[in-house]
Amino acid sequence: MQIYSVEQGDTVYSIANQFGSTVAAIVDANELEAPNQLVVGQALVIPVVGQFYFVQPGDSLFSIGQRFGISPTELANINAIDPNQPLPVGLRLYIPEQVKQLIETNAYVEPIGDTVSETLINATRKHAELLTYLSLFSYQVNRDGTLRPPLLDNFRQIAEENQAALSLVVTNLEEGAFSDELGSLIVNDRAIQETLLNNIIETARAGGYRDVHFDLEFLPPADREAYNNFLRYAKSRLSEEGLLMSTALAPKVSATQEGPWYEAHDYRAHGEIADFVILMTYEWGYSGGPPMAVSPIDQVERVVDYALTEMPANKIMLGQNLYGYDWTLPYQPGGEYARAISPQQGIALARDHNQAISFDPVAQAPYFHYVDTEGNEHEVWFEDARSIQAKFDLIREKGLRGISYWKLGLAFPQNWLLLEDQFNINKY
């Protein structure tokens, strides 16, 4: 796949000609709703074997080869150029397909309401073939240690048909929010733990689960070691049953980071105890906060770099959002919440309001502004092929175990195309 950013005057036809593709292939790959109305700044993925690279100032065959994992000599031979001559800026080089890295992938599904939506079922069925794990969010713990299951529908059948392992997600959610009081009971009361683990094991056996995933958040800071001890005990019980155990970790950048979401999450202990962890590297830009990228690459990399000082890379799954937000300006703390949107909806908003899409080079994320019919200004940040590519590059650079998506149900076709194009997915 080739990533291309639309420029003024571009058409799908001209882009197809430039890369030796077809209009139909580009429309299909990007699920373009209005192919005759491309948005300036919109990122497209172009189905080609390998990819093209346009020489930038300061580039050399050596630096380009390092970037793509190919020798300068091979790069010169493939493109029939003299390796001893300087590269003209703007020269188009062909980069052949590279060996794919083997990674693991996870995606959460969160059925909401009384029935599972067709949109969620269809998205799960469509993408399960690219998943190592399908995580059902969530089994909520009652105060006596029993479990309230999510809507299960036919997720197990979809997982089995696609050789995706089911993950049983356990949370301390209570009345729609993470409860510090409930979390403290879980990690401190041995009687509740016995009931809980007995219920988890029974549910895992009956439901065909492969992994048990603890997502205990907003725990009191004083319960840090209690949580570690609970995980050690849970791991011993679950291992006896042949079950994997994973955990979700808040995005920390140091062991001493303060705050109710961070202090009880001990990266070093989780790295030692769990089979793998999922870093929740998203929600810098969130619905109740000011407008900004949801998962800016500079902040994501800081979390990863810290995690690597506490645990091996092959235990780390990078968390990734499949959504963005539309904020109404001016932002006011405690005011109107931003609206969650899919990447496809982000592009449609820019197109409908005749706005070009900008790209933040530091956050590596697209954004734009528009004014609605009532005269309110909006700021939109979302994901596109360029932003997800930055995360894929980070996974390769750091040798991480893989990627975990929160959550299925919002359309982002480019992500799945690039994932399949660049990685082989481990299956159990």
Phi, psi for 37 (deg, rounded to 5): -130, 65
Letter for the amino acid at 156? Answer: R
CA dihedral 398, 401, 407, 409 (to 10 degrees): 100
> Of these residues, 31, 175, 217, 383, which one is catalytic?
217
The residues that bridge with 5 in the sheet, in sequence order, are 43
Q: Among residues 195, 331, 305, which one has the least CA distance to residue 253?
A: 305
Q: Can 263 be counted among the known catalytic residues?
A: no
DSSP secondary structure, 213-278, as one string: EEE--S--GGGHHHHHHHHHHHHHHHHHTT-EEEEEE---SSTT--STTTTT--HHHHHHHSSEEE
CA distance 48 to 336: 43
Structural contact between residues 368 and 355, judged by C-beta atoms closer than 8 angstroms:
yes
Pairing of strands 173-174, 177-178: antiparallel
CA distance 132 to 159: 9
CA distance 280 to 301: 12
Query: How many C-beta atoms lie closer than 10 Å to residue 116's C-beta?
Result: 18
Could you tell me if residue 378 is left (phi over 0), alpha (psi between -120 and 50 degrees) or otherwise beta?
beta
Letter for the amino acid at 272? Answer: E
CA distance 5 to 87: 23
Q: Which residues are part of the catalytic machinery? A: 217
